[in-house]
């Protein structure tokens, strides 16, 4: 239920009591986390998540998802991957407030950075919630590129400042999901900037296309934009190596330019190609994907 569809008194209780308490708690937690060394914060929150995650409803949901999408794994292998996922997601959380310190070769080993170094006209960078996806924007920070992000605001507007932690020492264009995002993306691209898109989540609009071999609603706005504007696209993924250390893979640019009217068939073909790429990454490192997300809807 949308917050603004709730009864008035309940809505005001949330706005004037719950939201301020959550914001204060977030400020205390973030302050404490920033005092911790990066490796210790990663280790600590990884350990905590590994203890707590399996006791939540999201563990059962994650198991249902991996059984649905990866039936070739044995039940023991599926369980092991989800347990490893909790440690990984905890580490991602522990590293979040330190992202601005991690954009260097102490923590990131780049493979294919030359593809972005040679790009002078901007483009769309496609990735998913794999590894520590938040670190992907460090490439543009390091190279001094202008860049933009599409994000989903927190339900609590008083705590939205937490999202800005990933932009310290950077000045990206930030666009909230919705109708304004498309116009914002075009604005950044016209500045020869890069737009980072995580295109592995469920969307209300788009088209059905196989994702890990199962039909899933897939976003297509960026595909049509790339076709209309002849925008280069780059695939990028950030994979955990050990602790807070990652490999960043950047593939050569490609284009979806479509001469003449853009057909449904051309869009569907591009969506399938992108989904297949993301699916191959997830298959390589299942424990580093966001399995609690309802990628195939609530029926799974």
250: CB partners within 8 A, 6+ apart: 110, 111, 112, 113, 115, 116, 139, 234, 235, 236
Asked whether residue 193 is domain-assigned, the answer is yes
Asked whether residue 68 is domain-assigned, the answer is no
Mean of pLDDT over the chain: 90
Residue holding tokens 């051309």? 266
Domain count, the chain: 1
Asked whether residue 87 is domain-assigned, the answer is no
Q: pLDDT tens-digit profile of 72-117?
A: 999 999 999 999 999 999 999 999 999 989 988 899 999 999 999 9
Asked whether residue 63 is domain-assigned, the answer is no
57-69 helix and 75-96 helix, angle to the nearest 10 degrees: 120
Q: pLDDT tens-digit profile of 227-260?
A: 999 999 999 999 999 999 999 999 999 999 767 7
Q: pLDDT tens-digit profile of 8-51?
A: 788 888 888 888 888 888 888 888 899 999 999 999 999 999 99
DSSP-derived letter for residue 251 is P
Do strands 232-242 and 254-255 pair parallel, antiparallel, or not at all (unpaired)? antiparallel
179-190 helix and 221-229 helix, angle to the nearest 10 degrees: 30
Which residues form the domain of 248?
Answer: 106-288
Asked whether residue 210 is domain-assigned, the answer is yes
Asked whether residue 214 is domain-assigned, the answer is yes
φ and ψ at 147, to 5 degrees?
-150, 165
Residue 272: what pLDDT?
A: 97
Asked whether residue 174 is domain-assigned, the answer is yes
Instruction: Specify the pTM.
Output: 0.89
Asked whether residue 164 is domain-assigned, the answer is yes
């Amino acid at each position: 239920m949308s917050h603004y569809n709730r009864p008035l008194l309940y809505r005001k209780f949330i706005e004037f009591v719950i939201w301020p308490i959550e914001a204060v708690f977030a400020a205390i937690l973030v302050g404490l986390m920033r005092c911790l060394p990066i490796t210790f914060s990663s280790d600590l929150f990884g350990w905590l998540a590994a203890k707590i995650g399996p006791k939540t409803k999201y563990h059962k949901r994650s198991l249902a998802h991996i059984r649905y999408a990866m039936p070739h794994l044995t039940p023991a292998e599926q369980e092991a991957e989800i347990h490893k996922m909790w440690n990984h997601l905890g580490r991602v959380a522990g590293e979040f407030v330190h992202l601005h310190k991690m954009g260097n070769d102490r923590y990131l080993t780049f493979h294919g950075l030359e593809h972005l170094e040679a790009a002078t006209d901007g483009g769309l960078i496609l990735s998913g919630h794999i590894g520590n996806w938040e670190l992907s924007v460090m490439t543009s920070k390091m190279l001094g590129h202008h860049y933009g992000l599409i994000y989903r605001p927190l339900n609590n507007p008083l705590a939205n400042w937490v999202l800005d932690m990933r932009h310290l020492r950077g000045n990206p264009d930030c666009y909230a999901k919705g109708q304004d995002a498309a116009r914002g993306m075009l604005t950044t691209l016209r500045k020869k900037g890069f737009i980072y898109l995580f295109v592995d989540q469920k969307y209300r609009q788009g088209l059905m296309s196989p994702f890990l071999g199962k039909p899933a609603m897939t976003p297509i706005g960026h595909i049509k934009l790339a076709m209309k504007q002849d925008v280069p696209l780059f695939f990028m993924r950030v994979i955990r190596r050990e602790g807070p250390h990652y490999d960043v893979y950047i593939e050569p640019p490609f284009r979806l330019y479509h001469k003449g009217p853009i057909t449904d068939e051309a869009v569907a073909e591009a969506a399938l190609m992108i989904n297949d790429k993301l699916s191959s990454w997830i298959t390589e490192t299942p424990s580093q994907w966001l399995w609690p997300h309802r990628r195939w809807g609530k029926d799974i």
